[in-house]
Amino acid sequence: MKEAFDLVIIGGGPIGLACGIEAEKAGLSYVIIEKGCLVNSLYNYPKNMTFFSTSEKLEIGGVPFISHNNKPVRAEALEYYRRVATSWNLKTKLYEGVEQIFNKKGSFEVQTDKGNCKAKHLVVSTGFYDIPYLLNVTGENLPKVKHYYDEPHPYFGQNIIVVGAANSAVDVALETYRKGANVTMVIRDDSIRDTVKYWVKPDIENRIKEGSIKAYWNSEIVEIREMEVDVKTPEGVITLSNDFVLAMTGYQPDFSFLESMGIEIGEDNLRTPIHNPDTMETNVKNLYLAGVICGGLKTNKWFIENSIVHAETIVKHILENRNNK
């Protein structure tokens, strides 16, 4: 006999956990299915990252988040969300990826890589951190090309190219430079993005101005080889000696996963998945979206701070529908 739940939540990030807490409060039977570890995206963030939010803005389920610093660091956030999961005794299935959803007359069958279960309602809170934007150039598949950054030590004494000009690229360029890498940035535009944290932007701009970090503006990589990289600049193609390429070019949601469930994707250039912002229900009845995935390609529209409310909205709508039957 298949397990059956009122609610299955796909993705155990902060917002998936928040949905679990609301389900727990409402007495719904539920499970959070997560393909990796608890808060898997946060676990895969750079080791030394600091959140831009203060800790109380990241709190869920009324569990206090005490940080030693003004803004919490990754290790504190991991500790915090573990504490949330144990305090609320959240029902999770970790290291279990959801592969397919079958919509069968008023209920969903959830097929994972380990088994299957049934759900009356579904929340998709799968974030956007699994699919990096590729450079689409020859040599991108060399092991020296990274789309995720972990820590600076491996890059000590190395010629590295950081691609991009948004928060991740800037953080990586500054951290690796300060830990002894020879850093060159390759930037498609003619400036550092305005969305870069206001307390970090002058730092990168001044390092570039003084020449400690070299930047090629209006430029892009055209080919990567074992020891070199070709960069197309406004002055023509140049060849740089290179050991590692850190492509910090952003990430995007898994649209094909959403479409496979019947969720329509908007025709706007942000590919916003269709959902009612008042209920978070998609065009598929009883199938909801929560968290950063709601923004489509606008991955900075929703973040933890402002999408925690999705959890309450969704469970309220489920309860209202149940009471109106």
User: Which residues of the shown chain bind ligand FAD in the complex (CB under 6 A)?
Assistant: 10-16, 33-36, 40-42, 45, 49, 51-53, 97-98, 125-127, 129-130, 168, 291-292, 303-305
Decide whether 60 or 187 has the Cβ nearer to ligand FAD: 60
The helix/strand/coil state of 70 is: coil
- State in angstroms the smallest separation of the CB of 176 from ligand FAD: 15
User: 73 or 240: whose CB is closer to ligand FAD?
Assistant: 73
Helix (H) or strand (E) holding 4: strand 3-10
Query: Structure tokens of 12?
Result: 């155990």
How distant is the alpha carbon of residue 145 from its chain centre?
Answer: 20
40-68 exposure pattern, b = at least 16 Cβ within 10 A, e = fewer: bbbebbbeebbbebebebbbbbeeebebe
Q: How far is the CB of 192 from ligand FAD (least distance, A)?
A: 17
Report which secondary-structure segment, H or E, holds 124. Answer: strand 116-124
Closest separation in Å from C-beta 62 to ligand FAD:
18
| Closer residue to ligand FAD, CB minimum distance, 52 or 217 | 52
Structure tokens given for 159: 């010629």
**Is 111 or 321 the residue whose CB approaches ligand FAD more closely?**
111
Neighbours of 97 (CB within 10 A): 13
- Sheet-wide strand order for 228-233: 220-224, 228-233, 236-241
Taking the complex as a whole, how short is the minimal distance between the CB of residue 54 and ligand FAD, in angstroms? 9
| Nearer to ligand FAD among residue 36 and residue 132 (C-beta) | 36
- The residue among 224 and 304 lying less far from ligand FAD, judged by its C-beta, is 304
Q: How far is the CB of 42 from ligand FAD (least distance, A)?
A: 6
CA distances from 270 to 200, 231, 265 (A): 27, 28, 9
168: left (phi over 0), alpha (psi -120 to 50) or beta: alpha
Give Cα 139 distance to the centre of its chain.
25
Residue nearer to ligand FAD on the CB measure, 224 or 289: 289
**Minimum gap (Å) between residue 45 Cβ and ligand FAD:** 5
Min. distance of Cβ 109 from ligand FAD in angstroms? 15
- Distance between CA atoms of residues 24 and 31, nearest Å: 10
Distance CA 154, CA 269 (A): 38
Count of CB atoms within 10 A of residue 179's CB? 15
Q: Which is nearer to ligand FAD, 128 or 244 (CB)?
A: 128
Q: What are phi and psi of 225, to 5 degrees?
A: -125, 170
CB of 151 to ligand FAD, least distance (A): 13
